[in-house]
């Protein structure tokens, strides 16, 4: 006779809830896989011709993805701020190996400790390093009602004309170098700085700049005040291009994946692109909250959830960018918030995202052209390197596979 343990009603309820949560998470991941195939890929054809324009059959064509269109990023706040040259180089190496997008800081209090002497030299160095590696840049933030956004030489938030001068000066200096801007930070929480005029100043200063309105607590409950602010701004003609969603409040919450998807749907209804601007699942031993998963936020939990969260966000058609907040535990604003430990060795989360972004979400294809000189493939939306080998000669080209585009490319042999 086998004696079975008696399960109380509360235990049974918790077990049921956990099982239901696991099933919902699995369903969300399954849908994400289907949506990634649909939303992040497109068909393309490379057509090989000879010098006279005639199709070349039987040529060998290889295509390899070089640069993702989607922006996978992190703030780059510890750039050249470690104690040794070796640490600085290790940080840069890890950054470049994983990301194609960086957020550089413009917090007024620390950026301009003396009036009229902003730290442009440091930003110029970051901009040059990123430009040399094809890493695109976002500036964050130009104005913020928080104490970090108030310069020490000012009695409270500077007057509107001083704010305008800052916005205009910075955007004009970095036009064509920094593409994306969070002009005002967290305006639905800290309302001392409105978005109306600052975004108009920014648009006038750099008409091609991409302007993002950014706030937090959105993944917790949708944060209706932020949605309302964006709706009113859109109706009032405030120029903004993207919606920035911070994803680290509440700080220990493991946001249910089905809620992540529904929140993205809700904000996508505004017709703007979505950006996860600050994502920080930690590994500092905090209790996991808000999820069917229990236990501690350790390195394994951090890696497991991050990969799942990235899948669901990358799958959404309105998403443009995913930004992790703090690459290394040394300098991180939350304990254990980095992808690298304090000694700059990679945690499991770094390897998990490296595998996703640069292996699973990377297209390589090879084959031979048919009688019409065509080689067809389906790949992620990205820039590709193409190599052609044929009896009549070899050729190389760079192509860009885009959503809702013909994606027909001709490569001529010499």
Residue of 322, 405, 313 whose CA lies nearest to 35 = 313
* Predicted confidence (pLDDT) at residue 17 exceeds the cutoff of 80: no
So what's the pLDDT on residue 392? Answer: 83
Cis upstream peptide for 71 (omega within 30°): no
Print burial letters for 81-104: b (CB count within 10 Å at least 16), e (below 16).
ebeeeebbebbbebbbebbbbbbb
Q: Identify the bridge partners of residue 276 per DSSP, sorted by sequence position.
A: 245, 322
CA–CA separation, 246 and 324 (whole Å): 10
Query: 3-state DSSP call for residue 150?
Result: coil
Residue-wise pLDDT for 86-104, tens only, equals: 999 999 999 999 999 999 9
Cβ atoms of 82 and 88 within 8 Å: the answer is: yes
> What whole-number distance in Å separates Cα of residue 344 and Cα of residue 328?
7
Indicate the pLDDT class of residue 13, thresholds 50, 70 and 90: very low
pLDDT tens digits for 371-395?
999 999 999 999 999 999 999 899 9
* Residue 5 pLDDT exceeds 50: no
Pair of tokens at residue 170: 């910075």
> CA 183 from chain center: how many Å?
17
Helix (H) or strand (E) holding 365: strand 364-368
User: pLDDT by residue (tens digit) across 336-377?
Assistant: 999 999 999 999 999 999 999 999 999 999 999 999 999 999
* pLDDT tens-place string over residues 169-180: 999 999 999 999
pLDDT of residue 10: 47
Q: What is the mean pLDDT of residues 58-74?
A: 98
pTM, two decimals, is 0.93
Model confidence pLDDT, tens digit, residues 38-52: 999 999 999 999 999
Question: Which candidate, 230, 117, 239, 142, places its Cα nearest to that of 193?
Answer: 142
pLDDT of residue 19 exceeding 90, the answer is: no
Q: Average pLDDT of the chain?
A: 95
Residue 214 contacts residue 186 (beta carbons within 8 Å): yes
Element (H, E) at 132: helix 120-132
| pLDDT tens for each residue of 184-220 | 999 999 999 999 999 999 999 999 999 999 999 999 9
Tokens in use for 49?
A: 């011709």
User: What distances in angstroms separate CA 362 from CA 137, 213, 312, 388, 396, one per listed residue?
Assistant: 22, 30, 17, 20, 19
pLDDT for residue 1 is more than 60: no
Compute the CA torsion angle 27, 29, 30, 34 (nearest 10 deg). Answer: 130
Domains of the chain (ranges, CATH numbers): 40-59+369-412 (2.60.40.1120), 70-360 (3.20.20.80)
> Which candidate, 189, 238, 194, places its Cα nearest to that of 216?
189
Q: Minimal CA–CA distance to 141: which of 198, 197, 100? A: 198
Question: What is the pLDDT confidence band of residue 18, given thresholds at 50, 70 and 90?
Answer: low
Q: How far apart are CA 177 and CA 131, in angstroms?
A: 8
């Amino acid at each position: 006779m086998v004696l079975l343990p008696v399960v109380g009603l509360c235990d049974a309820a918790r077990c049921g809830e956990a099982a239901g949560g696991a099933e919902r998470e699995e369903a969300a991941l399954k849908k994400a896989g289907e949506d990634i195939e649909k939303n992040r890929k497109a068909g393309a054809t490379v057509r090989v011709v000879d010098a006279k324009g005639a199709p070349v059959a039987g040529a060998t064509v290889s295509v390899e993805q070089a640069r993702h269109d989607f922006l996978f990023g992190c703030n780059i706040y510890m750039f050249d701020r470690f104690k040794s040259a070796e640490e600085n180089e290790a940080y840069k190496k890890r950054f470049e190996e994983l990301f194609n997008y960086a957020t550089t800081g413009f917090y007024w209090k620390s950026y301009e400790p003396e009036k009229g002497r902003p730290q442009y030299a440091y930003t110029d160095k970051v901009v040059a390093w990123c430009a040399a590696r094809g890493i695109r840049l976002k500036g964050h933030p130009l104005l913020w009602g928080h104490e970090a956004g108030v310069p020490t030489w000012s009695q409270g938030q500077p007057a509107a004309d001083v704010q305008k001068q800052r916005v205009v000066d910075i955007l004009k200096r970095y036009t064509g170098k920094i593409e994306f801007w969070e002009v005002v930070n967290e305006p639905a929480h800290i309302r001392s700085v409105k978005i109306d005029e600052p975004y108009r100043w920014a648009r006038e200063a750099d008409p091609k700049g991409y302007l993002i309105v950014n706030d937090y607590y959105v993944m917790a409950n949708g944060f209706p005040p932020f949605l309302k602010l964006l709706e009113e701004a859109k109706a009032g003609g405030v120029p903004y291009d993207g919606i920035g969603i911070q994803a680290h409040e509440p700080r220990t919450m493991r946001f249910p994946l089905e809620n992540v998807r529904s929140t993205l749907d809700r904000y996508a209804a505004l017709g703007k692109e979505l950006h996860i601007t600050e994502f920080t699942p930690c590994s500092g031993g905090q209790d996991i909250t808000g999820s069917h998963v229990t236990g501690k936020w350790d390195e394994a939990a951090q890696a497991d959830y991050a990969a799942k969260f990235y899948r669901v966000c990358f799958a959404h058609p309105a998403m443009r960018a995913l930004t992790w907040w703090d690459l290394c535990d040394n300098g991180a604003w939350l304990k254990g918030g980095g992808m690298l430990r304090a000694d700059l060795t990679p945690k499991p989360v770094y390897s998990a995202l490296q595998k996703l972004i640069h292996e699973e979400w990377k297209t390589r294809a090879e084959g031979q052209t048919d009688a019409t000189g065509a080689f067809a493939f389906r790949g992620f939306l990205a820039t590709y390197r193409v190599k052609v080998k044929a009896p009549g000669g070899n050729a190389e080209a760079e192509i860009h596979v885009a959503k809702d585009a013909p994606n027909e490319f001709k490569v001529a042999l010499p």
